[in-house]
């Protein structure tokens, strides 16, 4: 892992991803967000801008955390950036055996000790969204087992995802991959971890009508916690 600390920018990246593309992103991440000649826009709103960029044999997803107003800039300037939190939790999830797109780099714009905009870069993962995969494939048992395993690991290690909507569940090489760790957390107490587990479980089930067979099966397979 390589760290660069400068007056106006702090960046960290994994050496195995070093490439002309990554170095270009580290120098000017915003340029890659607006150059539509080789990138693909996934999302752009007040909160985040997300693009997939390609260079050589590399594909990265860049997420920029946008600032909403002056007060938001001031408030975030003395706290850990969302990119730094996502960077840390992506490593944590991978360490405990939960698949998520491998973290590549993290960038924070700085003015001395004050933090500004931040950027999180991950490896692009080819896959099919969970709902589409189950519609077009016949190995539902394996994939549902993978989701059950994720919940078991999160419960054991007191972590939560925070946004278990179907769009954040990808199937790649017949493995479930969790996307978007912006709302993920580590919990210090058993009470907090159990409450977050129930929220994650409830959010997952809300993806489908309660009368659907998939909803009923997930409700049966994923253990519930009695409050």
Question: Over the stretch 168-204, which tens digit does the pLDDT of each residue have?
Answer: 999 999 999 999 999 999 999 999 999 999 999 999 9
Question: 128-221 domain in CATH 1.10.510.10?
Answer: yes
Question: Over the stretch 50-103, which tens digit does the pLDDT of each residue have?
Answer: 999 988 888 999 999 987 654 444 455 446 789 999 999 999 999 999 999 999
Residue 95 Cα distances to 4, 92, 126, angstroms: 24, 5, 21
Residue 24, burial from CB neighbour count under 10 angstroms (0-12, 13-18, 19+)? middle
HEC assignment per residue over 97-129: CCCCCCEEEEEEEEECCEEEEEEEEEECCCCEE
Interatomic CA distance for residues 89 and 184, integer angstroms: 7
Indicate if 128-221 has the same CATH topology as 2-123.
no
Domain parsing of the chain, residue ranges: 2-123, 128-221
**Class of CATH domain 2-123:** alpha beta
């Amino acid at each position: 892992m390589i760290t660069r600390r400068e007056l106006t920018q702090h960046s960290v990246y994994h050496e195995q991803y070093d490439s002309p593309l990554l170095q270009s992103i580290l120098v000017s991440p915003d340029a890659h967000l607006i150059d539509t000649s080789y990138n693909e826009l996934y999302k752009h709103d007040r909160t985040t801008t997300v693009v997939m960029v390609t260079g050589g044999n590399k594909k990265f997803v860049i997420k920029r955390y946008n600032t909403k107003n002056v007060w938001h800039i001031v408030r975030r300037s003395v706290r850990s950036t969302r990119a730094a939190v996502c960077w840390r939790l992506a490593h944590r999830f991978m360490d405990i055996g939960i698949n998520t797109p491998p973290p590549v780099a993290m960038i924070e714009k700085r003015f001395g000790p004050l933090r500004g905009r931040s950027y999180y870069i991950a490896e692009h993962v080819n896959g099919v969204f969970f709902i589409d995969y189950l519609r077009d494939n016949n190995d539902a048992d394996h994939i549902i087992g993978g989701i059950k395993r994720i919940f078991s690991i999160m419960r054991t290690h007191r972590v939560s995802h925070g946004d278990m909507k179907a769009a954040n569940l990808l199937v790649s090489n017949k493995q479930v991959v969790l996307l978007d760790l912006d709302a993920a957390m580590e919990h210090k107490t058993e009470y907090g971890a159990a409450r977050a587990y129930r929220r994650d479980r409830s959010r997952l089930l809300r993806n489908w009508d309660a009368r659907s067979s998939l909803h009923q099966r997930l409700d049966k397979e994923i253990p519930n916690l009695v409050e």
